A and B are shown apart, each in its own frame.
Chain A
Amino acid sequence: MALNNINLDIKQGEAIGIIGPNGSGKSTLLKILSEITAPDSGNVEIRGKVASILEVGTGFNPDLSGRKNIYLNARLHGMKKAEVDTKFAEIVELFGFPNFLDTPVKHYSSGMYMRLAFAVVVHIDADIYLLDEVLSVGDVEFQRKAPDTILKLKQKKKTVLIISHHLSQIDRICDKLALFTTGKIIQYGNPFEVGIYYSKTHKSKEIRENTLNTDVSGEIIINETIILTIQDQTESQEQIGRTLSIKTLQAEECIEIQIVLNRRTPSNVISLISQKHETTLKSGSTNLHIQLNKKHLLPGNYSIDFFAFKNGENIASKLDLTDFSFQTNNSNPESQNPYWIFQVETNVMHINCIQDEN
């Protein structure tokens, strides 16, 4: 059963974010609310007109021009021609490519296609909007515009239900978040709290997966040739250290090792990616020391990912290998471009990190 025992009372003007892992019933709920499929039991009471956008671009005819598709798509969502006429200019403005209005949409890039579809959809005059993953389409500019469009709907006292995996976007838009897991709502309420809860439970699941292939000696088998062990954990006032033991069955030459340090916040992950460090692994164990200077880092929850490359190809990787958190009153890290020490046995290297936000 995809959904079970869902009880929600959503009021006019509320924006509800729906989050949860894939296959947890988020889309099924929207399908039921939009009458695409019927519940096996239970009842939904709806006041007001519903517009559902479960997929951007549903019902486009690839052979017709953008202009004709605007009318067709609007009609599909229950809008009359006269209504489209009055909103046409706004739709085109949000679409952003007026020169392509008379080109068949099959010649559009996928991004343009999405934008056209989204532009139509947010101009539908409904009372309740059901949106499934529509914020994650399009380019950066569009992704900046899209949340504002939804905030505007909220200002008009419309109700919005939105599924998203982009926590950073929806905890800004939504009044409440509902966290779905295997067809049930396990958390409902304040977006920040539910977001943190989701990040934590989601993370612990990955750790559980890691422990699955850890045997009694604490070894993490990442492929048949490389075995990792977390040897040592140190923490002092200034520094945090981790030692990993890399065990290989045969000596590996010209192996490049890369470490990624992830800082998790409720809404996103900021990753510090080390440069690739070339080294030779002798057969047997090699120790890898990672030392982080706290003064370069913001307080928070961190995890480390391990990657190994040979001839540019990724031969081994393990995510969330070891995790730790620390608290300091260090709200302003000393360096904008922090480096940390990354050491394979005795070849000490200072590695500058590239900051990557995703």
Chain B
Amino acid sequence: MQYRDFNKQKVRHINNEPTKPLEYVTRSLNQFGLALSFAKSEIQGKNAQTFLGYFINLFQILIASMLYWLIFGYILKIDTGNVPFPLFVLTGLIPWVYFSSIIRDAGNSLIDNKHLLDKIYFPRVILPMSKVIPGLVDFTIAMAVAIIFVLLFGMSIRWQIILIPAFLSIIILSGFAIGLWIASISVRYRDTSRLIPYLINFGFFVTPVFYPSTIVPDNISFILYINPAAFAIEGFRWAMFGTPFPDIYFLISLIPVLILGFWGWRNFRRKEKYYADLI
């Protein structure tokens, strides 16, 4: 029988020093399959014993779209140009719901999986990473239905629709960056899980989900500049309906978000050895 000789293997050191940046990146990427496994099991587990299954998210979005259409489109009569209001709000809600679910789920991922942190080692950043994926399934289903609605409303599909993944990646990247940072401080300050809903609620109103960014007066339009979802959602509508391309200066919002994400990643790298004790 062949034995693996331990002496031929590289020595690993366990101590209280932070993991080196490069080592942490390789460790995390090596375990990317684990993030996929977590995501897969979450998707399957979430849909077990449900009636609507994969369509629950779509159902919620459609109900919300009808409600917003009634309030903002029919009663308050917000002008959305040549895009019918229901389509306008639907294409805003789909990316927004995905964006906010990443922030919420990634932000709570450590607290929700306390039992895992306590009993097994893996790079902790895998947990927030895994939370990005389930929403992507919901997003794809909702997007497919949105395209059907576009056709039902008698509009044509523009070729620019193939650029949607570019805007989607902004949604994913910025949502993950914010969620990662929240997760890294949630270990110590448990209030985050209660504050996230407020943050998302507030974000909904400063994001052009149910209004076009053009109706925002110039003197307060800076709010949209600090909101990465604003650029992405306006971009979605440009790709789908040919509304004006979002102001490129909106991309400034990515700077604070990426700083936040880097800060969160650094927290994970330096402090994750203590997460099991702290949480």
Q: Which residue of A lies closest to B30 (CB)?
A: A78
Task: Pick the contact of B119: A38, A58, A78 (CB < 8 A).
Answer: A58
Q: Which residue of A lies closest to B115 (CB)?
A: A58
CB atoms of B45 and A58 under 8 A apart: no
- Decide yes or no whether A15 CB sits under 8 A from chain B: no
CB atoms of B14 and A35 under 8 A apart: yes
CB atoms of A59 and B6 under 8 A apart: no
* Chain A residues with CB below 8 A from B6, complex form: 12, 47-48, 127, 159
Q: Give chain B nearest CB distance to A57 CB in angstroms.
A: 9
A75 CA to B13 CA in the complex, in Å? 24
A80 CA to B276 CA in the complex, in Å? 25
Interface size class, chain A? 35 or more
* Chain A residues with CB below 8 A from B33, complex form: 75, 80
Task: Pick the contact of B37: A35, A63, A71, A156 (CB < 8 A).
Answer: A71
Q: Give chain B nearest CB distance to A218 CB in angstroms.
A: 47
CB atoms of A38 and B9 under 8 A apart: no
- Decide yes or no whether B15 CB sits under 8 A from chain A: yes
Q: Which residue of A lies closest to B278 (CB)?
A: A37
By secondary structure, the A interface counts as loop
Q: Which residue of A lies closest to B17 (CB)?
A: A38
* Chain B residues with CB below 8 A from A296, complex form: none
* Chain A residues with CB below 8 A from B3, complex form: 12, 156-157
- Decide yes or no whether B201 CB sits under 8 A from chain A: no
Interface string of B88-132 (1 = CB under 8 A from A): 000000000000000000000000000111111110000000000
CB atoms of A36 and B276 under 8 A apart: yes
A40 CA to B17 CA in the complex, in Å? 10
CB atoms of B13 and A36 under 8 A apart: no
* Chain A residues with CB below 8 A from B10, complex form: 47
A198 CA to B45 CA in the complex, in Å? 46
Interface string of A167-184 (1 = CB under 8 A from B): 000000000000000000
CB atoms of A32 and B119 under 8 A apart: no
- The residue among B5, B34, B41 with the most chain A CB atoms within 10 A of its own CB is B41
* Chain A residues with CB below 8 A from B11, complex form: 45-47
Between A and B, 7 residue pairs with Cβ closer than 8 Å are A12-B5, A36-B276, A39-B14, A59-B116, A61-B45, A62-B45, A76-B34
